[in-house]
Amino acid sequence: DAGVIQSPRHEVTEMGQEVTLRCKPISGHDYLFWYRQTMMRGLELLIYFNNNVPIDDSGMPEDRFSAKMPNASFSTLKIQPSEPRDSAVYFCASSLGTQPQHFGDGTRLSIL
């Protein structure tokens, strides 16, 4: 069984550039979550979708962040323009209902 697949695994870019993180959830899962992990804040839920519809985006830090889920097998998290304080590990997770969330391997983002 393929797990949650995230790409890229690492991203290094300069401040001001657009960053796009990608996620393919586990087939059949109806929930998709985007998290951010930093030393200072720990794991933060940014946004989650149910059946491709955004349900709660209250964790999205500001308008520079946006997320889409055009279909059941793909989601993106975009940061435009990026800033050094956006540097973190970004996780995507998926689940079926209240079953345990399965996490991808994360994307380590470094903004110089």
Partner 1 sequence: AQTVTQSQPEMSVQEAETVTLSCTYDTSESNYYLFWYKQPPSRQMILVIRQEAYKQQNATENRFSVNFQKAAKSFSLKISDSQLGDTAMYFCAFISNFGNEKLTFGTGTRLTIIP
Q: Tokens representing 8?
A: 């890229």
Q: Mask of contacts with partner 1, 55-84, x by CB under 8 A? A: xx----------------------------
Among 38, 43, 83, 110, binds partner 1 (CB under 8 A): 43
Map 66-100 to HEC letters.
EEEEEECCEEEEEECCCCHHHCEEEEEEEECCCCC
- The reply on whether position 42 binds partner 1 by CB under 8 A is yes
- The reply on whether position 98 binds partner 1 by CB under 8 A is yes
At 71, the amino acid letter reads N
Compute CA 50 distance to the chain's CA centroid, rounded to the nearest angstrom. 14
- The reply on whether position 93 binds partner 1 by CB under 8 A is yes
Among 11, 24, 26, 33, binds partner 1 (CB under 8 A): 33
- The reply on whether position 34 binds partner 1 by CB under 8 A is no
Among 31, 34, 65, 90, binds partner 1 (CB under 8 A): 31
**Phi/psi zone of residue 46: left (φ > 0), alpha (ψ -120 to 50 degrees), beta?**
alpha
The candidate with the shortest Cα–Cα distance to 79, out of 71, 90, 70, is 90
Q: Tokens representing 92?
A: 């995507």
Among 79, 101, 109, 111, binds partner 1 (CB under 8 A): 101
Binding site for partner 1 (CB under 8 A): 31, 33, 42-43, 45, 48, 50, 55-56, 89, 91, 93, 95, 97-98, 100-103, 105-106, 108
